[in-house]
Structure 1
């Protein structure tokens, strides 16, 4: 065999679809015949081993098929019944939930209607806002102690703080009482003057002593006036009240006016200018201090 003949034998042949189907049928026929021959060789007398089915066998077979179909039909009916029962229960549960929701909505609507009726005839109760007074708005509370200062341990500069000495009334230090600063400045000035005189051996002349005495008296009068002005309105008499004191008094008691030529409110029953009989009646009634509306209305009524 030469090389050309060997190449022609090994060359693949492409078959059409019809040819492939014929080959498959032929191969299947051959397999069937081989199987049949194999079964004939194993059973030489097939008629004795496999007798033909009788009439009883066929009726029994039909009866078993009918029973199976009846069982399947009964099982399908049970399944349909269970499914209908489940659907019915689910629908009843949904209806119950919907009914409860509608009842709750109706109850809520009735409550809203009752609230509207009460508000119409009895009035609404609005929460009162707490009015912050201007005197409280700018009040500062600094809860801190010097013992909590930890900077002394870390920085040496804070261990020896410098104390400012105010001489001859040259300004004031922030955050310190002005009267105390004035007293400290006067004391420092006097000590410095005495030290200079003692160093130079100069005695104080009478006119200088008189001038210094007048200066100290004027400073004392100024301090007294300053203390009188800085007092709270509750510590002052009626004549000593200033416009600022009256404004703070009205803010403390939330008293407001509209109009002109309005008299000053009274701070106590003694300042009300009522007769002694009325004051005794007020005392017997148990009114120790007047209310804010009485403080504002009684002087206004007496003026009219």
Structure 2
């Protein structure tokens, strides 16, 4: 066995236990490699079958198009210009002019007159010797032939005669007269007049709207009373209209999925069929996480999660999305029997959460630790790149209930058999659009395919019955529940949602401009050259009053440029930390923690542009504008102005940033921010390119 899996030289000097563990690891790696090869072969076969199907469809489409072209080209109608037709009509009387008092027979009759001419001609031939005058009378004149020829030509090319066209026009005029509007005049006897001379409405002079004021005041009092008391009403007296008012107050929009009503507080259950939140979770929310009441996304998402219903959440950054999907997962785990919780070492975790970046994964894992602060027997761990895989594998072997990580490292642990998902029935994709942009789609699909719980039925009624069955069960649910949170919904994310989500409820928070950072004041400084950026940065930092609680982030495009800008900031007398992909994971965590404590300026690439929740970021400076899409700009400035607060974002732009000028101009206009004159008049900003991509 050793000779097949490992080089015997590698086993020298090891104890028996170490050799045994090494051989087990090698065997697991071999099995994982075989499974990976089998999956790759299956995917290749499916891809080839799909290509063949598409090729057959294209051939059928091309065949249908060619048949249509042939049928269109089979008409025998020949078009003769109007001028040639008029010339032919003028020449016709000249050729048919009679000579010596007899009609000329050289005129060629039209098909419509051929039969008549032949009959007349035969008759004149048979009686030529006996009735010469009768022959002349029966033979049609040239003018008659000309008239018939003209009528035949008109009918052939115009389709209808002049009489027919005139008749149709007359019918249309007749219908128009019949449809003419008729004014009906009422007539009644004077004795039937109900007017009262002493009516105060007419006898006294009143201002406009006086008569309608009592009804308007009554209606306004009803509306204001409903808005003020909708949160104080008892749960049983809440009507459908009251729930609609509550959603409107918090700008909650729900589509599909038969979503339950939103929760008015953490301790209240909006529906009797929903399982209540466990007291330990309520204690952690109020006393550990310091939540006084739910945020809008939490009000609607938590009841949906408690019903084990699939969810698509669209909300601005800093809105509390982690608690929105974390509370239902923790409540589900706490209510499971101990026999199920004790099997995680062999059968794997019960819930898995994927995030695009290491920092966001660490942040989500920390939030889960806070939610489970009163439940020590439920464990969560974070597996991400940049840390030793062996330590993470050892933690997984001990057994954890919730796994948070990046798709790449989770998929790596699955292939190495360090992680199994045999009883995993909960999956969360946070920042789904970002993970797709970073190329994690294959890894995400591989992880979702490895889950033990089955997908719910595509039939809506059957899916709801399956959800009810899982809510009532005391063991591991049969069917999975998937939550997808994303700022945008590109085509790739929609395709993934259609494949792995069943009849999801789509929850969006805020108006259409909430995702465009409408509460952030955006200033764009148009500089003559990139060399002026250092002076502009110095002026901004010098004008900013030093406050430990106010934080500033300077964004650049490249990690090698980040170190140079950091030295630039330090020369200005400010303490600085750097965050980019070239730093080790420990350095990144340490620098991020120093920045959270305050007193330093953070210089970062787009690694800090999505998902990381850092409170009290007051100023974002785009030293370099993004080069890929306007979405990166949106997520950069979204680090400030979080959770309803105001924010400030300043961007440096030069003539070298022509690719972003048109999208940036449209973005500023859509969020109500001023557009600099030089940017508005720049030719690149007037090119009409307003898509998300920057060319």
Q: TM-score range by the shorter chain?
A: under 0.3
Task: Output the TM-score relative to the length of structure 2.
Answer: 0.12
The structure richer in strand per residue is: 2
The structure richer in helix per residue is: 1
